[in-house]
Amino acid sequence: MFVDRVRVHLRAGHGGAGVVSFQKLRGKPKGKAIGGSGGRGGAIILRADPSMATLLTYKRNPHHEAGGGTHGQGDLRSGRQGDDLVLSVPLGTVIRDDEGVVVADLVEAHQQVTVLEGGRGGRGNAALVSRVHRAPNFCEQGEYGEGAWFEFELKLLADAALVGFPNAGKSTLISRVSAARPKIADYPFTTLEPNLGVVSIADREFVFADIPGLIEGAAAGKGLGHEFLRHVERARALVILLDPSPLQTENLLRQYDVLIDELARHSVELAERPRVIAVNKGDLPDVAHEADALESAIEKPVYAISAITGAGLEPLLHAVADAVDLAVREAPEREGFVLHRPVRSGFEVYRDGDVWVIEGRVAERAVGLDDLTKPEAADYAAARLARIGVDDALREAGAEPGDEVRIGDLVFEFEETE
């Protein structure tokens, strides 16, 4: 099964929690803080792997999570970092976030992108010692690893793609000139998924793609062609394969016009891609004559071939290799990219019914302590919230003392601090 589009849920690893621990020291009633910090959670990394052909494994298993960090321990021992999870995707995979924004387009072998960073480890009480808190009896929780849905879409990276009506003989041709073995049959819409084959001609080589047949209206969603027009997008050159058989209701010129029109409707740029035009089934009567007539009509070279007997294939393949070379010279190297977006900073204040809600990582971090029922911890969290501006923001938004405020799972009352 060829799977070229999947939705995947990814979650970075949770950070380990810090710990509260004291070393008893003579003369120090509380002792010395020696609680270690938690390890950070593992990140999610996507990497392009040339040996992968489809996204099937993600269809079967759409949930992936990176390793969590472990908790800190006494004696200043930090927790272990969680293992990053490196997921392989085929070359040519486009990654989108849940809002449809392209995050990366991995077309180079081993190119990679970190899509989710692991949660931070919580600081242990040793790391929280300050002038105000010389022996803190609290520590930070580990931060949750962020989880999100992504869409992976595989766009083929063929050098040349076969474009033609169903039944034109595209699969027959690719099976004749490469090791690809797609199903061939005397009825239309036999090919339901693209097939790639490597073609060697003299000392030249190119990757050829056989895609499902296109019909009129394909760009508007008719037939099977629409889904697969996307795959043609990345081919450097196109081979327009025309079908002269009496079963085909459209004549050669009309087939040609319809196919070019559908390409243009999908993208103007696609209709301008270097192309080679061929008429298949040259073993049938009168085809040579029809091919000549087409050549005069469109004033472009037309290759008459027979995918079954092999007649005319060599000149055609050289012409395709030339078109690919030309495209390589004209178009700069296809480059992948990884989008770097600033981490969302700050927080948001909004009202949900009677409750003020504060949303944002900094605010969640400020209150992410082990036990806020400890007065010392609560004071510490309150001071942190004030410092990052949460109090001011609440006041500005119109919060009154006594109003309920929610940050993550935590609900508390807004108090005026001086």
Ligand X SMILES: Nc1nc2c(ncn2[C@@H]2O[C@H](COP(=O)(O)OP(=O)(O)OP(=O)(O)O)[C@@H](O)[C@H]2O)c(=O)[nH]1
Using CB under 5 A, count the residues that bind Mg ion: 3
Tell me if 308 contacts ligand X by CB under 6 A.
yes
Q: How far is the CB of 290 from ligand X (least distance, A)?
A: 14
Sequence letter at residue 322: D
- Written as one letter, the residue type at 36 is G
Q: Which stretch binds Mg ion (CB under 5 A): 22-30, 165-173, 263-271, 404-412?
A: 165-173
Toward ligand X, which CB reaches closer, 78 or 280?
280
Quote the tokens at residue 113: 């992108």
Q: Which stretch binds ligand X (CB under 6 A): 52-60, 137-145, 197-205, 301-309?
A: 301-309
What is the enclosing helix (H) or strand (E) of 64?
Answer: strand 63-65
Sign of CA dihedral 155, 160, 165, 168: negative
CB 266 within 8 A of CB 219: yes
Q: Taking CB under 5 A as the rule, does residue 191 contact Mg ion?
A: yes
- Sign of the torsion angle spanned by Cα atoms 181, 187, 190, 195: positive
C-alpha distances in Å from residue 312, one per residue of 170, 197, 307, 414 = 15, 19, 9, 83
Rounded Cα distance between 156 and 6, Å, is 15
CA dihedral 339, 235, 154, 172 (to 10 degrees): -170
Cα 191 from Cα 210, distance rounded (Å): 8
User: With contact defined as beta carbons under 8 Å apart, do 384 and 130 qualify?
Assistant: no
Rounded to whole angstroms, the Cα distance separating 406 from 351 reads: 10
Q: Report if residue 52 touches ligand X, rule: CB under 6 A.
A: no
Is 195 a binding residue for ligand X by CB under 6 A? The answer is: no
Among 283, 292, 314, 396, binds ligand X (CB under 6 A): 283
- For the window 277-296, what string marks contact with Mg ion as x by the rule CB under 5 A? --------------------
- Return d(Cα 164, Cα 187) in angstroms, integer: 14
283 binds, among Mg ion, ligand X, none (CB under 5 to 8 A by kind): ligand X
Nearer to ligand X, 141 or 172 (CB): 172
Q: How far is the CB of 282 from ligand X (least distance, A)?
A: 7
Please, are residues 113 and 88 in contact by the beta-carbon 8 Å criterion? Answer: no
**Beta-bridge partners for 85:** 44
172 binds Mg ion (CB under 5 A): no
Using CB under 6 A as the criterion, what x/- string covers residues 112-151 for binding ligand X? ----------------------------------------
How far apart are CB 249 and ligand X at their closest, in Å? 15
Task: Residue 172: name its binding partner from ligand X, Mg ion, none (Cβ under 5 to 8 Å by kind).
Answer: ligand X
Among 284, 362, 378, 388, binds ligand X (CB under 6 A): 284
d(CA 206, CA 276): 14
- Of residues 213 through 242, those in contact with ligand X by CB under 6 A are 213
Closest CB to ligand X among residues 286, 299:
286
Residue from 16, 42, 188, 368 touching ligand X (CB under 6 A): that is 188
Residues making contact with ligand X (CB under 6 A): 164, 166-172, 184-186, 188-191, 212-213, 280-281, 283-284, 306-308
